[in-house]
Amino acid sequence: MPIPEDALGAIRTLLKRCTVAITGAAGEHGSGFFIDEHLVLTCAHVVAAPEGSEVTIHIAGPAERTGVVKEYLPGDDVDLAVVEVSWLGDDPPQPAVALDRAFVDNIEYLAVGFPREDLNRTTGLEEVPYKINAHYGADRVTPHVLNIHAGGPKVQPGLSGGGILNPQSGAVVGLVQYTAEVGTDSGGGGIPIVRASEHLATVKEHLDNPPLATRVWRDALGPEAWRELGNEWDWQSRVEIRIAGTVREWSVQALLAVGRPAVARELADTRDSDDEEPYLISGAALTNEITEALFNWARRRRVRDAADVELLGRLLAAALLPDPVVARLTGAAASDELLVRLLFEEPGDAEEGSPLFDVPWEFVSFRVEDEPRQVATHPGMRFARVASRHDDNEVDLEPGRAPAGVLGIAIQLEEWQAKMPFFTQRLTQKSKDVVWPKHGALAGSLEAAITQNPGVFDALVLDTPSPFRVRTTIQNWEETKQGLSDMEVVHYCGFGEMQDGSPKIALADDEGEEEWRDLEDLYSKVAQSGARLLVVQFLLPMLGTDPVPIPASAFVSALRGEVNAVVFTPVPIHPRQASSFNQTFYDELGHGATVEAAVQTARARVAEDSFLNDSASFGWFTLLTGPRSGLRLVDPAAGSAGKFRDATSASEREH
């Protein structure tokens, strides 16, 4: 089906923006067009020089840039070249054309280039309509040569290398190669894109996986026409940043997959040949002690003020993002969704911890086109930490049936009520007292957040339970929930602290008094449950106490069993902040979002609320995943008829 007229008008304008005039190494003149931000496809006879030679690229107006021939295949049968263009620092982003294999015979195509006028030997950008049909190869399917009909407009010298647009599909299907007879309307010939892809791996790659530079073209075509070309609409780029070393000297290494949804979802283990070696970073002119002190400040100081948050973001960016990595992030940020994953060397056991792992990297920010971007809250990004799994279990990332089971554990002893912090929220014109939730309210708030979308999550929230009740509930989940749903999430909302070097969480004993248990006990119970997501939210401590918070590295060993993601707060938060996060988090999960996307949106919600004028609260919601990304808990559209996960019951796992 032909594309709409307004879309075709936009595409015709874009093709002109993507078209350049080329002056070859020996003064030859021709045309070419961008297939990526830095790459121009043209004919070999236009550049007339081997690989490594420099040619002149004439872009808009009188501007000229240097191009280097990267691929050169001369000869009448092939006659193809790819030129890499060097841009200046203040040059705007260059769009690229969308390519297509399909060809329709005997319709009117549009060729765009810089034909030379015979009278005064001048050139100018022109769009020329031609009737074209294909000469097919032995398979009678693949176009081998494009025959430009005689009797129409002249195929002038200088048009060679110009793109041929199919106005029905809105994509470039070939490039002009020659004129049959100079100065006459005898027609000419062109090279189909499909044949160019057979000879040039670069063209095939850009044909199969359109680069981000074609985003403007994609947006002009619209979803239906773009998909008709065989492309996925959304671009999901992915940057993995590996960090290793100590707080005195560390290294970072960036691996990138851009604009290719399938590749971006599962980044190849091998590094691209053009990837840089790790960048060694230290405090530069600072002494090692000052560098270590800066990291310790970032780890231990509870920032709240917006100016401190901005400063912390810049300091951490300087530690994590050297200029080449920023360049990769900036380019990848043009995609619809950018997943940034921070990978660490093994952080070691919880007692030793890992200073680099425990730094609050969620505050990192960088600038794109002079706009600050908070990596952990920007709507077009996703940010997660990654660690190795504690065991070798295979993890199922596919959505299960809805409703999915959630076990909530809310801790709020009645006797603690009078000891909890009291705040005054300063509003625009007045102040409002913020009272700590009463006994039972914490569990009610958690249950309301989980079950806000009926039929998606099936919650059982234990209010201030004993360790025995937690254990037996997990063991007897199917009986407790009458077999309605698999347990997918365990969500603890309570109190945690380091005691004698060991991470502990609060529960209640059989008499309802506080009882502190090892965090590792929770991990082992969650692994037995079959849940794939663990959420641990620590609340502000009682007045008059100053417990040592549990570091982020203590959560690495939670990645065991089927658990593939852990959301936790290494710094304690207010229940209102937990409630704000939970409402958005479960709403996003319930609509089929990945855990990475749900956490990102929920962080942004917390940042927007700025409860108690705490500009830093979003940064304490930390996401840790295993090596694989993209966990979705439910497919809400499928309902109870959706996919059953192949999960063993909790009681069977226990035995």
Write down the pTM of the prediction: 0.79
pLDDT band of residue 298 (cuts 50, 70, 90) is low
Q: What is the largest CA-CA distance in the chain?
A: 102
Out of 222-236, 291-305, 402-416, pick the least confident.
291-305
**Residue closest to 192 by CA, chosen among 135, 128, 110, 129:** 135
Rounded CA gap, 652 and 615, in Å? 46
Position 266 scores a pLDDT of 42
Between 443 and 512, residue with greater pLDDT: 443
Average pLDDT over the chain, rounded to an integer: 84
Alpha-helical runs (H) found in 301-394: 306-320, 323-332
Residue 213: CB atoms within 10 A of its CB come to: 23
Q: Which residue type is seen at 620?
A: W
pLDDT band of residue 494 (cuts 50, 70, 90) is very high
* Residues whose CB falls within 8 Å of the CB of residue 133, separated by 6 or more in sequence, listed in order: 105, 106, 146, 147, 149
For residue 279, pLDDT beyond 90:
no
Between 299 and 194, residue with greater pLDDT: 194
What percent of the chain clears pLDDT 90, i.e. is strictly above it?
49
Position 286 scores a pLDDT of 47
Whether 550 and 358 have beta carbons less than 8 Å apart is answered as no
* Residues whose CB falls within 8 Å of the CB of residue 368, separated by 6 or more in sequence, listed in order: 329, 330, 333
**Residue closest to 593 by CA, chosen among 453, 496, 468:** 453
Position 334 scores a pLDDT of 78
Instruction: Give 29-43 pLDDT, tens digit per residue.
Output: 999 999 999 999 999
Instruction: Give 76-103 pLDDT, tens digit per residue.
Output: 889 999 999 998 877 888 999 999 998 9
Burial bucket for residue 517 (CB in 10 Å: 0-12, 13-18, 19+): middle
For residue 239, pLDDT beyond 70:
yes
For residue 139, pLDDT beyond 80:
no
DSSP 619: G
Rounded CA gap, 469 and 480, in Å? 12
Rounded CA gap, 602 and 581, in Å? 5
Rounded CA gap, 613 and 427, in Å? 9
* Residues whose CB falls within 8 Å of the CB of residue 167, separated by 6 or more in sequence, listed in order: 2, 3, 8, 12, 107, 108, 109, 110
Between 569 and 299, residue with greater pLDDT: 569
Whether 384 and 624 have beta carbons less than 8 Å apart is answered as yes
Helix (H, G, I), strand (E, B), or coil: what is residue 217? helix
Whether 60 and 17 have beta carbons less than 8 Å apart is answered as yes
- Three-state secondary structure of 561-606: CCCCEEEECCCCECHHHHHHHHHHHHHHHHCCCCHHHHHHHHHHHH
Q: How far is CA 290 from CA 294, 296, 315, in A?
A: 6, 10, 13
pLDDT band of residue 395 (cuts 50, 70, 90) is confident
Rounded CA gap, 461 and 457, in Å? 12
Instruction: Give 159-182 pLDDT, tens digit per residue.
Output: 999 999 999 999 999 999 988 777
Tokens of 123: 């050139």
DSSP 221-251: H-HHHHHHTT--S--EEEEEEEEEE-SSEEE
- Helices 467-475 and 519-529: angle between axes, nearest 10 degrees: 20
pLDDT band of residue 505 (cuts 50, 70, 90) is very high
* Residues whose CB falls within 8 Å of the CB of residue 311, separated by 6 or more in sequence, listed in order: none
Instruction: Give 456-489 pLDDT, tens digit per residue.
Output: 998 999 999 999 999 999 988 877 666 667 899 9
Domains of the chain: 1-233 (2.40.10.120), 236-386 (no CATH), 404-649 (3.40.50)
Rounded CA gap, 455 and 440, in Å? 24
Between strands 381-386 and 622-625, the pairing is parallel
Helix (H, G, I), strand (E, B), or coil: what is residue 310? helix
Between 478 and 563, residue with greater pLDDT: 563
| Residue 403, preceding peptide bond in cis (omega within 30° of 0) | yes
Spell out where 389-532 has E strands: 404-410, 423-426, 431-434, 457-463, 487-494, 496-499, 502-508, 514-518
DSSP 70-124: EEEE-STTS-EEEEEEPPPTTPPPPP---B-----TTEEEEEEE-PBPTTT--B-
173: part of which helix (H) or strand (E)?
strand 171-179
Rounded CA gap, 11 and 13, in Å? 5
Whether 383 and 340 have beta carbons less than 8 Å apart is answered as yes
Position 1 scores a pLDDT of 67
For residue 607, pLDDT beyond 50:
yes
Whether 625 and 389 have beta carbons less than 8 Å apart is answered as no
Rounded CA gap, 567 and 644, in Å? 24
Residue 228: CB atoms within 10 A of its CB come to: 18
Instruction: Give 222-234 pLDDT, tens digit per residue.
Output: 999 999 999 888 8
Q: Which residue type is seen at 498?
A: M
